[in-house]
Amino acid sequence: MLPSEIISKVPASYENGLASGSLFFFPSDNYIVQDTETGLNLEIRLCSALQHKPKLDTPHFEPSAQPQSKVDPFVPPYDPGLFVGDLTSEDGEQYVVLLNKFSVVPRHFLLVTKEFKSQTSPLMPDDLLQAYALLVAGRKTGKNMFAFYNCGDLSGASQPHKHLQFIEVDEDGPPVEVLARSVSLESQGKPFTIGALTYANHVFRFPSNLPYSSIDKREQILANAFLSLLDLVLSTVRHDPTYPTGPPSYNVILTLEHLHLIPRRLETHTLEETGEILSVNSLGFCRNAAGQERT
């Protein structure tokens, strides 16, 4: 299926998944809170149904080729109630699109590598290209979405099989995107940092014609952007002894306009008031962009 076909199939597949009982939707309350430091409107979603969910151990990701003993939910046979389609690209059908089985946001879907690849591995040019193609296809049908990737032990990921995730947002995109857009750049094509944020972050602004560029051009720009940001993540981690040693963990946020990489030093944030421990993934940096966590 082409990216446009996948995108047009998602809403009906989602309704079908719900109706067939394959997919669970957890209603949540959404609060908009203004952050005093940045002035940014943060979106905080409270999902009481998930509050008492037993905490699954964070998988210890092995970069080795094989998944661990736990059942991998991202291998065939796919649950027909979660399956959207195989994504067709230049290289054949390397990816499958599945709905998130446990949705807090409607139509949350995943782009999964068909062959097992580790969630500790960096995004490859084709991962970025296919993810971007889905965002472009979404925009053509009036949907604003962004993609995210939780990479490594401390990134808040729960599945070791490589998957990017997609969520619909309003026109402004995730709050952190509003901040990224507000940064004026002296020279285009170079990574920058959103100084207003309280945590290390590395961002790349794409040329405005990227959604209309040829596949080759797009791939080159996306891959170079990712590599330049990954370099900065590695140097942030290496030059700061408060980051743990070993393979770096980081979160990735991809929009049509920007790529964001956020190095992680802690997987969780402990709420001061209650002592509750929250696992924080990429969404913590999109919606709750100025949280107190020291990443």
Interface contacts to ligand AMP, rule CB under 6 A: 73, 82, 98, 100-102, 110, 150, 157-159, 165, 281
Are the C-beta atoms of 72 and 158 separated by less than 8 Å? no
Q: Which is nearer to ligand AMP, 8 or 158 (CB)?
A: 158
Q: Which is nearer to ligand AMP, 150 or 295 (CB)?
A: 150
Q: Which is nearer to ligand AMP, 148 or 192 (CB)?
A: 148
Shortest Å distance, C-beta 207 to ligand AMP: 29
Tell me which residue has its CB nearest to ligand AMP: 73
Using alpha carbons only, give the angle 222, 91, 251 rounded to the nearest 5 degrees: 35
Shortest Å distance, C-beta 83 to ligand AMP: 10
CA distances from 197 to 3, 76, 80, 180, 202 (A): 34, 41, 42, 10, 11
Q: Which is nearer to ligand AMP, 101 or 139 (CB)?
A: 101
Shortest Å distance, C-beta 66 to ligand AMP: 17
Name the strand (E) or helix (H) holding 83.
strand 83-89
What is the sign of the dihedral through the CA atoms of 289, 293, 294 and 295? negative
291 C-beta neighbours (distance < 10 Å), count: 19
Name the strand (E) or helix (H) holding 89.
strand 83-89
Residue type, 216: D
Q: Which is nearer to ligand AMP, 205 or 264 (CB)?
A: 264
- DSSP annotation of 60: -
Shortest Å distance, C-beta 259 to ligand AMP: 18
Shortest Å distance, C-beta 25 to ligand AMP: 11
Q: Which is nearer to ligand AMP, 205 or 269 (CB)?
A: 269
Shortest Å distance, C-beta 175 to ligand AMP: 20
Shortest Å distance, C-beta 165 to ligand AMP: 6
The SS3 of residue 74 is coil
Phi, psi of 294 (to 5 degrees): -90, 110
Q: In 176-274, at which residue ranges do the beta strands (DSSP E only) sit? A: 202-205, 249-254, 258-264, 268-270
Name the strand (E) or helix (H) holding 146.
strand 144-151
Q: Which is nearer to ligand AMP, 38 or 249 (CB)?
A: 249
